[in-house]
Amino acid sequence: MKDQKHPHKKKKVIRTAALSGSLYILLEGQLRFLNQYYDILAIGSDDEDRYLEKMEQREGIRTKEVTIERKINIVQDLVSLYRLYWVFRKEKPFMVHSITPKAGLLTMMAAYLARVPKRAHTFTGLIFPTQTGAMKKLLLFFDKLICRFATHVYPEGNGVKNDLLAYKVTKKPLKIIANGNVNGIDLDKFDPTLFSEEENIQLRKSIGINESDILFIYIGRLVNDKGVNELAYAFGELCNKHSNVKLMLVGSYEGETDLLPSSTWEKIKANKAIHYVGHQDDVRPYLAISDALVFPSYREGFPNVVLEAGAMGLPALVTDINGSNEIVIEGKNGLIIPSKDEKSLLNAMENLLTNDELRTQLAQNARHMISSRFNKDDVWAAILKEYQTIENE
């Protein structure tokens, strides 16, 4: 519905996240698409990577910096709440839409106080189910507050939805947009045919991986709750039994609090079959040279890396957690194991390593099973339809 006084004026939607990098990375292309229909303003903390500036250039939208700490900091959180309130009062959006927990809490409260008509939050993952004691109660309380001040609540997938229901976080309707995931996958970008066999061989050689090696790839933060400890130990056992297997770790550990113990790092560094290549802005070349993704995380919302690996034609070995178990169907495009289970991880990796027929079958199904459910065009269309429905309520 157009503004009656200004029939050609687009209504305003403000998107927020604690870190502007979350908006930049998670919503690539989506904000530009939505900006065709709404006046999109993105808000988040900025850093030395200058994601807000990059977002303006890539997405063609306006941005504004408001520092939002990921950790609890009462003084800074009150300052952030105050700043968000005045931005909302000045901009007068018809809707604000937040992702990430702290941004959700402060955005929903500030928007409620500023009388923004529509207040939407997407839960991309829940932290409290894996916590204990006072911290679990506090995080659960915060999520209940988010829902209290929101008018629309969106779990990213069925796993997140079921947790919200099980813990009675809210009585408001919980709607999953499309089949889950906040942005879908760009199948033109994540396409294995973009990388030639010659390029793949050369990259493998530069890292120290032979053409005949079976290469497992892990992509993500190198921290405890991603299952990196179990992975390092299980793979250590695996390569003691098989000489034709390699593991490539792609990701960073800098700036993290959930640090790996020194014993795990020592095991990684001592194992010549493990290749650590650090953080990579473009993971596609590394997926293109790999044979399978291994992702033994403890908790997720809806992991992009599993979608990306599938789109690149890789079978995925994942843990039975939210998101991962919605993307991977056991025996169809990957294998699912219990989390925090080193022995199950070892057995599943060995199965993929030694069973060429299974690995080939899973790989053949991988891209189609992603494209049929998580194409970004379908996700964006569903988000636009939801915004238009909200606008016309």
Check pLDDT > 50 for residue 259.
yes
Query: Model confidence at 130, in pLDDT bands (50, 70, 90)?
Result: confident
Instruction: Report the chain's C-alpha Rg in angstroms.
Output: 22
pLDDT at 94: 97
pLDDT at 2 over 80: no
pLDDT, tens digit, 9 for 90 and up, residues 177-194: 999 899 999 999 999 999
Euclidean distance between CA atoms 145 and 169, whole angstroms: 9
pLDDT value for 234:
97
Helix axes 356-374, 342-354, angle to 10 degrees: 100
Pairing of strands 214-219, 245-250: parallel
pTM for the whole structure: 0.89
Res. 232: pLDDT tops 90? yes
Q: What's the average model confidence in pLDDT over 145-160?
A: 96
Short-list 135, 163, 131, CA closest to 147: 163
Sort strands 214-219 and 292-295 into parallel, antiparallel or unpaired: parallel
Place of tokens 């899973």: 362
Q: Give 128's pLDDT tier (boundaries 50, 70, 90).
A: confident
pLDDT surpasses 70 at 380: yes
Average pLDDT score over residue span 369-383: 97
What is the model's pLDDT at position 47? 81
Q: In the numeric block, which tokens belong to residue 298?
A: 């403890």
Q: What percent of the chain has pLDDT over 90?
A: 89
CATH C-level class of 12-184+376-391: alpha beta
Do 192-374 and 12-184+376-391 fall under one CATH topology? yes
pLDDT of residue 312: 98
Q: What's the confidence (pLDDT) of residue 5?
A: 47
When the pLDDT of each residue in the chain is averaged and rounded to a whole number, the result is 94
Residue for token pair 């700036």: 255
Distance of CA 309 to the CA centre of its chain: 13
| pLDDT at residue 127 in the model | 83
Average pLDDT over residues 317-327: 95
211, 213, 214, 215 alpha-carbon torsion, rounded to 10°:
-80
What CA–CA distance (Å, rounded) separates 114 from 10?
A: 20
The C-alpha atoms of residue 326 and residue 144 are separated, in whole angstroms, by 25
CA gap 89, 109 in Å, rounded: 13
CA gap 194, 213 in Å, rounded: 22
Q: Which CATH class is domain 192-374?
A: alpha beta
Ranges 213-217, 258-262, 385-389: which has the least confidence: 258-262
Residue 346 has pLDDT above 60, yes or no: yes
Residue 126 has pLDDT above 90, yes or no: no
| pLDDT attached to residue 144 | 97
C-alpha–C-alpha distance, residues 236 and 30, integer Å: 41
The domain spans of the chain are 12-184+376-391, 192-374
d(CA 109, CA 114) in angstroms, rounded, equals: 9
pLDDT attached to residue 256: 65
Cα separation, 181 vs 379, in Å, equals 8
Burial 123-142 (b: 16+ CB within 10 A, else e): bbbbbbbeeeeeeeeebbeb
**Residue 49: which pLDDT band, with cuts at 50, 70 and 90?**
confident
Cα diameter, the chain: 73
Give me the residues paired with residue 120 across strands.
97, 152
Average pLDDT of 208-237? 96
Q: What is the 3-state secondary structure (H, E, C) of the chain?
A: CCCCCCCCCCCEEEEEEEEHHHHHHHCCCHHHHHCCCCEEEEEEECCCCCHHHHHHHHHCCEEEECCCCCCCCHHHHHHHHHHHHHHHHHHCCCEEEEECHHHHHHHHHHHHHCCCCEEEEEECCCCHHHCCHHHHHHHHHHHHHHHHHCCEEEECCHHHHHHHHHCCCCCCCECCCCCCCCCCECCCCCCHHHCCHHHHHHHHHHHCCCCCCEEEEEECCCEHHHCHHHHHHHHHHHHHHCCCEEEEEECCCCCCCCECCHHHHHHHHHCCCEEEEECCCCCHHHHHCCCEEEECCCCCCCCHHHHHHHHCCCCEEEECCCCHHHHCCECCCEEEECCCCHHHHHHHHHHHHHCHHHHHHHHHHHHHHHHHHHEHHHHHHHHHHHHHHHHCC
> Torsion angle of alpha carbons 261, 262, 265, 266, nearest 10°?
-140
